[in-house]
Amino acid sequence: MSKIFTDKDANLDVIKDKKIAVLGYGSQGRAWAQNLKDSGLNVIIGLEREGKSWELAKNEGFTPMHTKDAVRDADIIIFLVPDMVQRTLWLESVKPYMKKGADLVFAHGFNIHYGLIQPPNDSDVYMIAPKGPGPTVREYYKAGGGVPALVAVHQDVSGKALQKALAIARGIGATRAGVIHTTFKEETETDLFGEQVILVGGIMELMKAAFETLVEEGYQPEVAYFETINELKMLVDLVYEKGITGMLKAVSDTAKYGGLTVGKFIINQDVRNRMKEALQRIKSGKFAEEWIEEYGKGMPTVINGLSQIQNSLEEKIGAQLRDLIQKGKPKS
């Protein structure tokens, strides 16, 4: 069982006198900045442009600064901009201006693990990766709770990198729930694998294939949508709340038998082998190279893929049925 750190393992005093620059004010940046500020820490916001995020930060009590100005005197620099923006931000607006020995902090290990950012030898480099979106990180904190997180240290010059990482984790509320110690390698590779094989790629293609199979066999698309896509939320909620065993206990005996027998027929050894192939692409760096090249071209694969899905039958049927479901909801 992995070591799980909680509030008793994290001391805010180790960073209470530090100036913390949060780079980005999007989903995670906004939540982290507000939570850290509410935890009594000294937070400044660093942004590249004076756009919507700049105005939002001002309206919510911060005095945003341009990135290069925010990092000049910062003791801790937290990268909370998208993965593919971080390298350019680092090279152009952080590395030339940052204070010698400032900590570099990440919420995902991608840029460090794949060598897109090469940190100075005199900087502590660590990561706190909340296992939930920014709005949830903020919502749970305000309610007195916290979203669990992973914590890792890539470079420990001071000998206190883990202590500081746990202090940041406490500042955003993560140690209220629990923080698991990992590595940049493990967090990056498992995160990418999960997104590709199940959370985004796998489940999306499984839903689409099941829907299309029923429609091709002559079943009504509305009925097919309910059975292969819409009801998934209820089952995932059961797994989230009670585990796989709890979900199985909640469904009918017919569903249990069908699921336990046919599930292994669909997700067979061939599928498992292809999962391992996908993992090897991640571990070898081939996926990262491909994604960097794709991003540099303007993401044509992503744009075309989204367009195809938006125009698909299942999306059109889904939009109609969601309206139907909303109409049936009881008025609060």
Q: Could you list the active site residues?
A: 108
Three-state SS at 271? helix
Residue 122 assigned ligand-binding role = no
Residues composing the chain? 332
Q: Is residue 290 annotated as involved in ligand binding?
A: no
231 annotated ligand-binding residue: yes
Residues 6+ apart with CB under 8 A from 15: 41, 75, 76, 164, 167, 168, 171
195 is in an annotated binding site: yes
* Phi, psi for residue 57 in degrees, rounded to 5: -60, -40
Residue 218 annotated in ligand binding: no
- 25 known member of a binding site: yes
Residue with tokens 């909640």: 250
Q: Give ∠ CA 80-82-88 in degrees, rounded to 5.
A: 95
312 annotated as a binding-site residue? no
Is 320 assigned to a binding site? Answer: no
- How many angstroms separate the CA atoms of 20 and 141, rounded? 19
First-to-last C-alpha distance (Å) of the chain: 43
- C-alpha closest to that of 79 among 121, 134, 21, 135: 21
Please provide the DSSP assignment of 219-247 as one string: --HHHHHIIIIITHHHHHHHHHHHHHHHH
Residue located via tokens 């139907």: 324
C-alpha 145/C-alpha 167 separation (Å) is 16
**Annotated binding residue 201:** no
Q: At 44, phi and psi to the nearest 5?
A: -125, 150
CB atoms within 10 A of CB 162: 18
Q: Of all helices (H) and strands (E), which one includes residue 164?
A: helix 161-171
**φ and ψ of 180, to 5 deg:** -105, 135
Q: Output the known binding site.
A: 25-28, 53, 134, 191, 195, 227, 231, 252
Q: Output the known binding site for NADP(+).
A: 25-28, 53, 134
Q: Output the known binding site for Mg(2+).
A: 191, 195, 227, 231
Q: Output the known binding site for substrate.
A: 252
